[in-house]
Amino acid sequence: MTLYGVVVFIHIMAAICGLGAVFANPSIMKRGTTVSKAKQALETAKDVEKYAKIGSIALLITGLLLGVLNPSLFTEGWYITALVLYIAVQPIVAYMIPKRAENLYIMLEKQESDTLPDEFMPVAMQIAKLDNIARASVFILILLMSLKPF
């Protein structure tokens, strides 16, 4: 196998780790119907996020390395669009979603009963909207990488 092939393989594995969490975490978060279940969901989502961060960094590094190994990629519209979209969505998945999830956890720590506080759902809905943006971005990235339309 060539160096390029090895980097492509690592890139695909990184995509599975990094982007898979984008699809997993919303399902995990839906399980939080009580304070105790919501805490457990947040803790599980945080664990999954660790793999996402590692995979996401590896995805960016290998994606750029593929461009270095094959400089013609930097002239391809799909490649440039994928890089721009990937970088654009990073503040959402690396900062905005985790920050709101942390706020939810703090809110749950203060709750004395097992009933979700009234403030929980509005923040959870903000996270859900951000998750939808991230999932749509991942879907577009996969289409761009697979079909190379332009």
Q: Return the residue matching tokens 């599980």.
A: 44
Report d(CA 100, CA 71) in Å as an integer.
39
| pLDDT for residue 16 is more than 90 | no
d(C-alpha 104, C-alpha 113), whole Å: 15
pLDDT per position as a tens digit, 37-92: 999 999 998 888 888 888 889 999 999 999 999 999 999 999 999 999 999 999 99
Domain that holds residue 113: 3-147
Average pLDDT over residues 21-48: 88
Q: Where are the alpha helices (DSSP H) in the chain?
A: 3-29, 35-69, 77-91, 97-110, 120-147
Return d(Cα 99, Cα 92) in angstroms, integer. 10
| Contact yes or no for 18/134 (Cβ under 8 A) | no
Q: Both tokens of residue 37? A: 């279940």
Instruction: Please give the residue that has the higher pLDDT: either 25 or 85.
Output: 85
What is the tally of structural domains in the chain? 1
Look at 14-23, 95-104, 136-145 and tell me which has the smallest mean pLDDT. Answer: 14-23
